[in-house]
Every structure is written in C-alpha cells, then in structure tokens.
Amino acid sequence: MATDLHAAVKLFGCWRSTCTHRVTLALSVLGIPFDYCPVNLDRREQDQPAFRALAPEGQVPVLQQDGRVLTQSMAILTYLDALRPEGKASLFPEDPFEKAEAIALAERVSSFIQPFLLPGGIRRKLIACLPDNPETVVEGVNRFVRETLADALESLDRRLAARAGPFALGDRMTLADLFIFAQLVGAARMGIDVNGYPRLSKLYEAMERRADVRAADPSRMPDAPGNASAPRVAPSASALPQERGATPAPDATRLALAYKEPAREIAEYLDHVINTPIIGLDAVRHETFRLFGPVATKVSAIEVCRFLRWTASQMQARRALEVGVFTGSSSLALLEGMGTEGRLDAIDISSEYTAVARQAWANAGMDNRVNLVIEDGITALDRLPIAPTYDIAYVDALNEHYQAYHQRVVPLMKPGGLIVFDNILWKGRVIDPDTTDPSAIHLRDLNLILREDRRLETTFVSMGDGLALCKVL
Ligand SMILES: N[C@@H](CCC(=O)N[C@@H](CS)C(=O)NCC(=O)O)C(=O)O
C-alpha cells in the first residue's frame, strides 16, 4: 500500500519522553508540520486498549500518516528525513562513513543509554521481579538509573572529545545531535549537571542556540506542566478513549489550573491600588514573554514579587541572596524593597536569561548593587563562606535541587532572617499520591523536611505556585 507522503503527520508522544523529543526536534528542524496527540505516561494512557491497538508495545513516540503507523524514533526520523521539504538539509551526512558514525552515536543513545533508564513498563517489571522490601528496591533501581546514565554520558563525552564540534560530528548538525541533545535535556530534568561533561555541554549550547531546536523544547509542548491552558496544536489525549471502570488518576490539569495567577482584572485592580510599585517589573515581564515565549512561565508570579518587595522593606533587609534569577523580576523586587543600601548576591546557571535581568537592573539604576554569579546553584552556594550573612533569601531554581539548597542556605542566614522557597506546590502536583513527576516528589519531601527542621519557624502559603516561608531561629 502506497502512503500519501503529503498526508498530515500525526505524532503520539509525551512531553517528558526523550524519544518523543528526538522526533519533535526532527519535525522542527526539517520544517514538517504535524498534529500532536499527547499520551499521558504518568496516567498510563500507553496501557489503555485504544493506544495498545495502535501500538501494541505501549510506548511513544508513534507516528501515524495516511492510516499507517510507524514506531521507533530512529525509524521515524529516517522516514521524516525523506519527507523534508525542498531546501531543508538532510539529518544524515552524505559521506557514507560519516553517516554510519552519526547512526552509531544515535544508536548508543537509543539502544544503550535510554533503555537503561528503564522506561515505565520495564521499570515496573524489574521492580516486581526483585526481592522484597519495596523501598530499598526502588531506591536501588533509582540509583542504578542515575549511575548508569552518568557513566554513559561520561563515555559519550570522551568519544566526542576527538571531534572539534560544536556538534557531534563537527560543524553540521546531524541526527546524532538530536538523540544526544534530547537525552541531555532528560538528564538535566533528572538533576544531572550537564556542565560536568565539557564536550557534551558544548554540543548542548550549540543546539540551544538554534531557534528550531528551542521551538521543540519539551516545556513548550501542550502537555507539559503549566501549559494546560496553552492552545493545543493537536487533538487532545481525549482522542484516546478512557478505559471503562479504570480508577481515574488525580487530574493534573485540574490541579495545574488551581494555581493560576489571579485574573487579569484582579491584577489590574491591585496595580491600581498598590503604593509600592516595582520599577521595571512590567518591562521585564514583557521582554521575557517576547523573547522566550512559553518558557516565560518560569517568571515569578507578580504577587510573589510584590510580597518579596514588601517583606524586604518591612524587615529592613540589607543583604539578600537569590538562587535562580531567570530574567530578574524577583531580583528587582528584592532590590527595590531593600532600598539603596541593599545588596543582592544572585546565582543563576543561564547567561542567556540573566542578560535580560542585567539590562533590567541597569535600567533601574540598581546594577551596582548586584553581584551575579553564573553557575549552578549548588556549586555557587558551596563557594560562599559559611557565616550568618543574609537577611532574606529567595530560592527559585532547579526543583530537584531544593533539598540541597535548603541545606546550604540555612547556615548563610542571619538569625531572624527569612528564606522563601518558591514553587513548593509544583502546580498542585505535590498532593497527587500517584505522581511520578520527580519535581513533585522532591518538593513534597522538602516540605516535610522543612516541617521537621527545628532551626526554622516555617509556614506555607498558596501564593503563586506556593511559597514556604522559613524564619531562621
Ligand atoms: N526504542 C524506542 C523506545 C521508546 C520508549 O522507550 N518510549 C518511552 C518514553 S521515552 C515510553 O513510551 N515509556 C512508557 C512505557 O514504557 O510504559 C524509540 O526509540 O522510540
């Protein structure tokens, strides 16, 4: 049966699946339009009969075109390459040896790295086959996954070291880069510091510089956390009929919606009555949305900024610490609240995002009061001398490092100082008992750790995405 090559391409995938990411990268780079059908792996939609009828393996990605179905990201990429519009460069090098090398690198990711991270079904089977004591077993399996990934990235890094780069095989991006990059993005989500691999981080940066790569960022996918209200580019997962009698999993979409910022009318009203404005806040928020589109949801909620400004002023804070600057809205609030004597030590891993913050500080005439360190939060905090230095600290960085931030920030605070942890409700996902979202699990544990920490007097508020307010005793 001949397939109509021009028929619409439909992709069944999941935002957090690295194999799906390989395919969305290819679609974006090759300029092929597609419909997206999210399959919620956390809710095990891959196991529903309707999906199994499409793909008996119960895995994503699955490509459907003109009634035909293709699985396996490598095969899908090969096919998509053949569909590329005129003028688009192939993902496969012309030179036969180079082509084989690109496939070899992609295969290393596809057949050795990703499978050992134990995708859902395999993971569940392994855990069930291991001896008793479920807690130790899960802990051991998680350690196995992390260590295997770290080892595999290390050898991949050494393999690429022979090539000047920045891409895997040199100056031109090939399918190898798509596989490697997707795996690195997944590794970063697991809290693995990609900067620890010099050659891979060079590849990562080169990829991140490309707009077509950024357009395929998993956080921009309609099913990514926080994008519940984003326009869908495709029919929704409800295209997959629900299995009758199945216990409905807690609805992550509903939870996500529960923690939206106040309606625009309310925000405008509050703007009208407030007498503690934050200079430059509106401008920085607009610039963030203009430059970074959906990633801009990482910007701190306006009400959180107002709270920080007011609290820093109320405490007469003079020294502030910020872990996770992003584009600078919360730092503007802290600086404004502290007044002209206040100084801010700010830490962020991204020079791209903080470039916007630097500009905002300069525009507000506050840049001479900020010491910005571009480094990952844990390393930068470890460099700070352990002394009671700060009056106020705001933590809004990598979710899965929050417990490490907590350990490091407390000893840096003056008695009576305040630590504010943002995102501790993680769009409400912390209350989902079945969540497999690593951020939700980590933050839920953090909240319990904070509750037990006798050095702190802590309360929680549901402002923004949830704040933990910890007074240092
Ligand atoms: N070799 C396959 C691997 C597919 C795969 O492992 N998919 C994962 C997501 S990255 C999945 O569907 N996991 C859910 C499950 O196994 O239950 C490919 O490259 O497409």
The answer to whether the CB of 378 falls within 8 A of the CB of 402 is no
Confidence of residue 3 (pLDDT cuts 50, 70, 90): low
Supply the pLDDT for residue 262: 59
Q: What's the pLDDT tens digit per position in 214-241? A: 999 998 888 887 654 333 333 333 334 3
Q: Are residues 75 and 153 in the same domain?
A: yes
Tell me if 3 is assigned to some domain. no
Higher-confidence position of 263 and 207: 207
Extract the runs of DSSP E, i.e. beta strands, from 267-367: 319-323, 343-348
Q: Who contacts 406 (Cβ-Cβ below 8 Å, separation ≥6)?
A: 395, 419, 421, 446, 449, 450, 453
Supply the pLDDT for residue 147: 84
Q: Are residues 352 and 296 in the same domain?
A: yes
Q: Are residues 312 and 175 in the same domain?
A: no
| Residue 156, both tokens | 């991949």
pLDDT over 80 (residue 36): yes
Q: Are residues 235 and 266 in the same domain?
A: no
Q: Are residues 452 and 405 in the same domain?
A: yes
pLDDT over 90 (residue 181): yes
Tell me if 249 is assigned to some domain. no
**Long-range contacts, stretch 182-185, CB < 8 angstroms, 24+ apart:** 182/18, 182/19, 182/21, 182/22, 182/25, 182/109, 183/18, 183/109, 183/113, 183/114, 183/153, 184/153, 185/18, 185/21, 185/217, 185/218
Indicate which residue's Cα is closest to atom 1 of ligand 1: 72
Tell me if 289 is assigned to some domain. yes
User: Phi and psi (nearest 5°) for 280?
Assistant: 85, -5
Q: Are residues 94 and 173 in the same domain?
A: yes
Indicate which residue's Cα is closest to atom 10 of ligand 1: 17
**Rounded percentage of the chain residues whose pLDDT exceeds 90:** 61
Supply the pLDDT for residue 297: 67
Residue with the two structure tokens 């993902």: 91
Q: For a ligand 1 pocket test, name from 21, 59, 103 the mutation site with the most ligand atoms within 8 angstroms of its C-beta.
A: 59
Tell me if 251 is assigned to some domain. no
* pTM for this prediction: 0.53
Domain final residue pick, 214, 239, 264: 239
Task: Rounding to the nearest 10 degrees, give the CA dihedral for residues 120, 214, 28, 161.
Answer: -80
Higher-confidence position of 7 and 90: 90
Q: What's the pLDDT tens digit per position in 95-138? A: 999 999 999 999 999 998 888 887 777 777 777 777 766 567 77
Going from the Cα of 213 to the center of ligand 1, the distance in angstroms, rounded, reads 21
Supply the pLDDT for residue 269: 86
Supply the pLDDT for residue 1: 59
pLDDT over 70 (residue 447): yes
pLDDT over 60 (residue 332): yes
Which ligand 1 atom is nearest residue 74's CA? Answer: 19
pLDDT over 70 (residue 352): yes
Supply the pLDDT for residue 125: 75
Supply the pLDDT for residue 234: 33
Q: In which region does residue 183 sit, left (phi positive, over 0), alpha (psi from -120 to 50) or beta (all else)?
A: alpha
Residue 170 identity (one-letter amino acid) = G
Number of domains in the chain: 2
Indicate which residue's Cα is closest to atom 12 of ligand 1: 59
Tell me if 219 is assigned to some domain. yes
Tell me if 139 is assigned to some domain. yes
Domain final residue pick, 194, 209, 239: 239
- Give the CATH number for residue 427: 3.40.50.150
Q: For a ligand 1 pocket test, name from 24, 54, 60, 185 the mutation site with the most ligand atoms within 8 angstroms of its C-beta.
A: 60
Supply the pLDDT for residue 334: 98
pLDDT over 80 (residue 158): yes
Mean pLDDT of 454-469: 94
pLDDT over 90 (residue 12): yes
Q: Are residues 157 and 31 in the same domain?
A: yes
| Residue 30, both tokens | 């090759």
Ligand 1 close to Cβ of residue 61 (< 6 A)? yes
Supply the pLDDT for residue 122: 75
Supply the pLDDT for residue 296: 66
Q: Are residues 227 and 293 in the same domain?
A: no
- Give the CATH number for residue 131: 1.20.1050.10
Higher-confidence position of 459 and 222: 459
Q: Are residues 182 and 263 in the same domain?
A: no
Tell me if 295 is assigned to some domain. yes
Q: Are residues 166 and 294 in the same domain?
A: no
Range of the domain at 393: 256-472
The answer to whether the CB of 449 falls within 8 A of the CB of 419 is no
Q: Are residues 323 and 457 in the same domain?
A: yes
Going from the Cα of 436 to the center of ligand 1, the distance in angstroms, rounded, reads 16
Going from the Cα of 119 to the center of ligand 1, the distance in angstroms, rounded, reads 6
Rounded CA separation 314/337 (Å) = 8
Q: Are residues 148 and 219 in the same domain?
A: yes
Q: What's the pLDDT tens digit per position in 243-263? A: 333 333 333 333 333 334 556
Q: What's the pLDDT tens digit per position in 283-315? A: 998 888 777 765 666 788 889 999 999 999 999
Tell me if 444 is assigned to some domain. yes
Going from the Cα of 472 to the center of ligand 1, the distance in angstroms, rounded, reads 45
Indicate which residue's Cα is closest to atom 6 of ligand 1: 119
Supply the pLDDT for residue 132: 65
